[in-house]
Structure 1
Amino acid sequence: MSVGAKVMRQLPALFGAQMMQYLVTLLTIPLLARTLGPEGWGRTALLMTFAQLALIPLEYGFHVSATRTAARRQACAADLAGLFGSVTAAKLLVALLLALPLYGVGLAIPHGGDDPWLPALALLAAVAQAQDPMWFFLGTEQPNRIAAATILSRLATLAVLVLFLRGPEDAWIYFAAQAASWSGLLAYGILLVRRQTGFGPRHLRAPGTPLRDGWRFFQLFLGSNVFDALLPIVLGAVSTPQSVGVFVAADKLARAASGLIGPLRTALFPSVTALMAESREAAARLWRWAMLRAGGLAALAGLVMLLGAEPIMRAVLGAAAGEGSAAADMLRLLSPLPLLLTVNITLGVQWMIPSGLEGWLRNLYLASGCLRLALCAALGWQIDALAGAVANLCGELMVLGACLVFLRRRRLCPWSA
């Protein structure tokens, strides 16, 4: 079977899971915004951002490093069982060491830590999500085995919110449902891995190797994703919870639109990694094939956001959207973001990391993140929540420009290989 055919075979399952994640996001935001009210939604949005921030060190880069290792060992069931055991042990150790410091961060979130139970539940949800076993099934190129369970877990979370969310005091239900959903998915994933590899308690090996392998990728994503999570927190320090809620809703919609194309990028990573060792030209052809399709879909998503901003934001936020066109202007301003994110992620994660350039990419992400935070803090006093959108766009444009110049100078461009 050709590499392209392998990638295409994985797409239905990945797209199904991603579509469900996208649908749940679209339905959850308006449900929370309407039920919790503008201020309650703003506070919950800040805690959702805290959970996203906590997820970065809790994942520790395992979703890339472990996927790559699994792709290289997929022919040996015993090796896969040992890998799953050592990665699971490493994840649990990281969660144990970081739980207390991260909870302290949650209590310090502006407007978000008024109730000490909510940061605790948000952290619990992040810990549970960090245990997601999808990396194993991506590395072994069989995501269809767990995709249905992922879809069902997202639907179950949404059903719990619809049935039990009644007022501003029920924000805890959202985080509790997330924690239960991810925990159930982990249990099912362990069952599947056990059937395939014979995995058992004896395979819970020392976590040293996964921790070492994940360190470089942790640094890379620390310099990238952490700033996505910090931006609303910085905005909350110079703005109101209501403004933060509007920004978080628009930003999540834009990132969900980019994430909708994520399955194509996700399926691409192990294939490009394997091809890079054999033929850079073949890897570049596969990259161009995926980039053309992912970029076209992302551009279409951005166009929908641009033309339908007002009805989209009104449908998503309801009364929390406020009077006037501020929420719609936010979404219009962010409409280029799906395309920028898609190009940058496909170029960085799917090409530069397999090329061994993660160190340079990490430094670029750090510089871009610092620029975003500085712009948000400086502009937030003048243009309120729009500062977050401006900061995001400037940061992504900086990453794109720097990558293009660097690859051209090194003669590593995938479009000319």
Structure 2
Amino acid sequence: MPTASAKAGVARNASAMYAVQLVSYLVPIFEIPILARALGVEQYGQILFCQALALTCSLLVEYGFNINAAQQVAVADQRPEELNKLFSQVVLAKLLLAGPVVALMLLVWATGMANAYLGHTGLVAFVLAYFFAFGFSPMWYFQGQERMVRPALLDVVLRLCGLALLAVWVRGPQDFALALPLLAIPPLLNTSLTMWWCRCEVGAVSWDISGAWRQIRDGFHFFVYRSASNLVMSAVPVLLGLSSGKRAVGEFGPPEKLIKGMTSLAMPFLMAVFPIFSRRLAVGSDAVSLRAPLITITAIAVLAVLGTGLGIWLGPWALSVLLGSGFAGSQLIYDMLIGVVPLRIVNQSITLILLIPTGHAKPASYAISIMSILAVLVGAGLSVPYGGLGMAVGLLVVEAILLVVLTGMLIRVVKKGRATDQQEI
């Protein structure tokens, strides 16, 4: 059983990450009436497209290190030399991954292939700033050490300051160019300050290129899981914009932000208990050791269903308050997307609480990857005739299929644990 100190550590870090998650959820929600009402559906759709493009590209640099490197930090157990070595390898690995991504972005912009969405330098700078801010965030280091309180506080303060400046200075379509730096500077500043913080704790980055390549090679399955699990919600506005235009993105964006926030509410708790279950289940799994993760998954599923019911009740009112007129298709899209909430939360829980800690990262990551690609393809295909509603249908259907697949994996792990118990008897 976890010790009292371990439980206290989980509580502290879960609370800190919930503070960040709450602000991460509320800030985009409060941005909706500021940006949507001031800029209109077309310019708002432009910003959503650029944000989605940057976040999608950042997944290639984040590379699952929020799970993989955090797990390695937890195992390193405060050994300074190991932490310096690990931090150096991860930073260098991210630099190696970022080079081709940045080069491709600049090539697309320079050749005019994306003039409809990246027509001027300000938009390109906005995408690159967002890309570096989220791709290079070192929160994995603090998460693995179970010291999330202070980094979380910094993140909260910067986000709220950015929101306040948006509310004061963005008043109409003429303020479109001003909105870009106000959106990009807070996350970029947060990443810069936390990187400096890590540098002060672990020392200078050593040029361990071979170790960086080893991190990339050994972390591939975590990359597949992490990128695939986020790819759907990150890449959807990009594909929707390409298939149906900026207006479709503007209508899809507000309900998508609401749903994305709901589906992410369980993640702070999952990331807080992930190191605990990783240590407990790394030595082998039997029926006794699996009892706690199974109870935890069940409790999360029940809460997810209850939360979805609340979302169904409050959704129409929230959209009306946030958007006003001009976003006619958003309500129907929300009604379809709300079904994704409990499915995605349970899928995240099964993967992080049971499958990865018991050594099933590879099959889980490939299942999630395949289903995520399928969801994007199905949604993009349906969005051609049906716009954002078609995208929502594709996401919902494939998320349900993924739940069936991951539940099958969970059942096999449980049966294996029971078989282990019988052999010991």
Pair in the same fold by TM > 0.5: yes
TM superposition shift of 1:394: 0.9
Counterpart residue type for residue 272 of structure 1: F
- 1:235 equivalent in structure 2: 240
From 86, 95, 103, give the equivalent of 1:92: 95
CA distance in 2, matches of 1:11, 1:266: 8
CA distance in 2, matches of 1:146, 1:41: 30
Q: Do the aligned residues in 2 keep the contact of 1:126 with 1:179 (CA within 8 Å)? A: no
Cα distance 1:317–1:309, how it changes in 2: closer, same or farther (>3 A)?
A: same
Q: Do the aligned residues in 1 keep the contact of 2:25 with 2:261 (CA within 8 Å)? A: yes
Pairing 1:128–2:133 present: yes
Cα distance 1:245–1:288, how it changes in 2: closer, same or farther (>3 A)?
A: same
- 1:66 equivalent in structure 2: 69
Q: Do the aligned residues in 2 keep the contact of 1:74 with 1:139 (CA within 8 Å)? A: no
- 2:409 equivalent in structure 1: 406
From 129, 139, 143, give the equivalent of 2:148: 143
- 2:20 equivalent in structure 1: 17
- 2:361 equivalent in structure 1: 358
* Greater shift in the superposed pair: 199-208 or 38-47: 199-208
In the TM superposition, what whole-angstrom CA distance separates every residue of 1:105-150 from its partner, at most 9, and x where no partner exists? 5764584223343133112211122221211111011111311111
* Greater shift in the superposed pair: 101-110 or 365-374: 101-110
Matched residue SS, 1:321:
coil
CA distance in 2, matches of 1:127, 1:45: 17
Pairing 1:188–2:193 present: yes
From 386, 391, 395, give the equivalent of 1:392: 395
Q: Aligned runs of 1:183-332 on 2, under 5 Å?
A: 183-194=188-199, 197=201, 199-201=202-204, 203=206, 205-206=208-209, 207-278=212-283, 280=285, 281=287, 283-322=289-328, 326-332=329-335
CA distance in 1, matches of 2:97, 2:373: 26
Taking structure 2 as the reference length, the TM-score comes to 0.88
CA distance in 2, matches of 1:204, 1:286: 42
CA distance in 2, matches of 1:298, 1:242: 31
Cα distance 1:20–1:240, how it changes in 2: closer, same or farther (>3 A)?
A: same
Counterpart residue type for residue 101 of structure 1: L
TM superposition shift of 1:315: 1.9
TM superposition shift of 1:169: 4.5
TM superposition shift of 1:32: 1.3
Q: Do the aligned residues in 2 keep the contact of 1:258 with 1:339 (CA within 8 Å)? A: yes
Counterpart residue type for residue 41 of structure 1: Y
- 1:53 equivalent in structure 2: 56
- 2:170 equivalent in structure 1: 165
Counterpart residue type for residue 316 of structure 1: L
Counterpart residue type for residue 232 of structure 1: P
Two-structure CA RMSD over aligned residues (Å): 2.7
From 31, 36, 41, give the equivalent of 1:33: 36
Q: Do the aligned residues in 2 keep the contact of 1:372 with 1:395 (CA within 8 Å)? A: yes
CA distance in 2, matches of 1:414, 1:339: 27
In the TM superposition, what whole-angstrom CA distance separates every residue of 1:306-359 from its partner, at most 9, and x where no partner exists? 11222211222223423xxx3222212222222111100111233212222222
Pairing 1:336–2:339 present: yes
Q: Do the aligned residues in 1 keep the contact of 2:241 with 2:249 (CA within 8 Å)? A: yes
In the TM superposition, what whole-angstrom CA distance separates every residue of 1:140-172 from its partner, at most 9, and x where no partner exists? 111113111111121122123223323335444
* Greater shift in the superposed pair: 220-229 or 327-336: 220-229
Question: Identical aligned pairs, as a percentage?
Answer: 25
Taking structure 1 as the reference length, the TM-score comes to 0.89
Cα distance 1:21–1:231, how it changes in 2: closer, same or farther (>3 A)?
A: closer
Matched residue SS, 1:201:
coil
CA distance in 2, matches of 1:11, 1:255: 19
CA distance in 1, matches of 2:83, 2:33: 41
Cα distance 1:341–1:174, how it changes in 2: closer, same or farther (>3 A)?
A: farther
Cα distance 1:310–1:347, how it changes in 2: closer, same or farther (>3 A)?
A: same
CA distance in 1, matches of 2:273, 2:288: 13
Matched residue SS, 1:319:
coil
CA distance in 2, matches of 1:413, 1:242: 51
CA distance in 2, matches of 1:230, 1:75: 37
Q: Do the aligned residues in 2 keep the contact of 1:49 with 1:232 (CA within 8 Å)? A: yes
Q: Do the aligned residues in 1 keep the contact of 2:224 with 2:369 (CA within 8 Å)? A: no
Cα distance 1:309–1:182, how it changes in 2: closer, same or farther (>3 A)?
A: closer
* Greater shift in the superposed pair: 165-174 or 73-82: 165-174
CA distance in 2, matches of 1:359, 1:95: 24
Cα distance 1:217–1:171, how it changes in 2: closer, same or farther (>3 A)?
A: farther
TM superposition shift of 1:224: 3.6
Q: Gaps (5+ residues) in structure 1?
A: none
Q: Do the aligned residues in 2 keep the contact of 1:33 with 1:318 (CA within 8 Å)? A: no
In the TM superposition, what whole-angstrom CA distance separates every residue of 1:207-240 from its partner, at most 9, and x where no partner exists? 2333233322223334343343333333233424
CA distance in 2, matches of 1:378, 1:168: 32
* Greater shift in the superposed pair: 30-39 or 278-287: 278-287
